[in-house]
Amino acid sequence: MQTVRDLESLREAVAAWRTEGARVAFVPTMGALHAGHIALVEAAKGPGVKVVASIFVNPKQFGPNEDLSRYPRKEKADLTMLEEAGCDLVWLPPVEAMYPAGFATNISVAGVSEGLDGAARPGHFDGVATVVTKLFNQVRPDAAYFGEKDYQQLAVIRRMVSDLDMGIDIVGVPTQRDDDGLALSSRNIYLDDEQRAKAVALPRALGVAAQGLARGDDAENVLAQAHAALGAAGFEVDYVSLVDAETLALAPAADRPRRLLAAAKMGHTRLIDNIAIE
């Protein structure tokens, strides 16, 4: 596995694969890798495919009161995991290469970015869309892999890639979970034992609500019950919202694919999760 820290070497490696006729699959990450990221690499692998992962903790997607400075950084362990997973190249751009002095471009995706986490974390999805565009331009992949756990991020990237004719296949990979159902997240390490035990209420509340919605129960009641269950478990709830699975518009028609999304804080740790409504 190659590790590359300058753009010229990245471009040379990718160009050499292209002359061999390989496809390039890309897994962008912020490091602190877990089995959810490895599932992205596994999904990206295939005959004639070279897999590039990036590790870059993107300052532009953190708000002023968020956890940029304490976001976990584990480069050595991350590289071992990626090598064992069969990744071909890891792109580790320095922050000065991503955002040199004078950097002035912002990518903003209206609509799908605006509610839910977009409302709770102003500027977050502009930061994601901007860095993902830049990473796409650096790697120039045929396909890119994102976890469904960050469902709104996936919807924003799909919209952006379609709107801007980027010509990259965006593949959503199902959320990986611990045995009790909690979605894997780099931020789970902030939970103490007691908080971790309580956090399982999040996937459970979503599971119960999804069953009710699939049965045709009244959506307002179902969402209120999920909200109450999270509060009772010790969460401070940000939102529990039923949305159109593509546009993320609220109050979706029942004959459209729907998704239930939630964000809630356990102590200082903000967790998100989501589930399809079958």
List, by residue number, the catalytic residues.
37
Of the pair 87, 132, the CB lying nearest ligand PAF is at 132
Least gap, CB of 124 to ligand PAF (angstroms): 9
Task: Give the nearer residue to ligand PAF in terms of CB position, either 24 or 30.
Answer: 30
Minimum CB separation of residue 180 from ligand PAF in Å reads: 23
Residues near ligand PAF (CB under 6 A), total: 10
What are the strands, taking DSSP E only, across the chain?
Answer: 2-4, 23-29, 49-55, 89-91, 143-147, 169-173, 236-244, 258-266, 269-277
Among 153, 176, 188, 274, indicate the residue that binds ligand PAF (CB under 6 A).
Answer: 153
**What is the smallest separation between the CB atom of 155 and ligand PAF, expressed in angstroms?**
13
Query: Residues with Cβ < 8 Å from 45, sequence gap 6 or more?
Result: 25, 51, 86
Selected binder of ligand PAF within 14, 25, 29, 262 (CB under 6 A): 29
The residue within the footprint of ligand PAF, chosen from 4, 24, 28, 85 (CB under 6 A), is 28
Q: What dihedral do alpha carbons 165, 166, 167, 171 form, nearest 10°?
A: -120
In this structure, are residues 175 and 35 in contact, taking their beta carbons and an 8 Å threshold? Answer: no
Q: Is 132 in the site for ligand PAF (CB under 6 A)?
A: yes
Is residue 275 within the footprint of ligand PAF (CB under 6 A)?
no
d(CA 62, CA 115): 17
According to DSSP, the β-strands at 143-147 and 236-244 are: unpaired
To ligand PAF, the closest distance from the beta carbon of 146 in angstroms equals: 6
202 binds ligand PAF (CB under 6 A): no
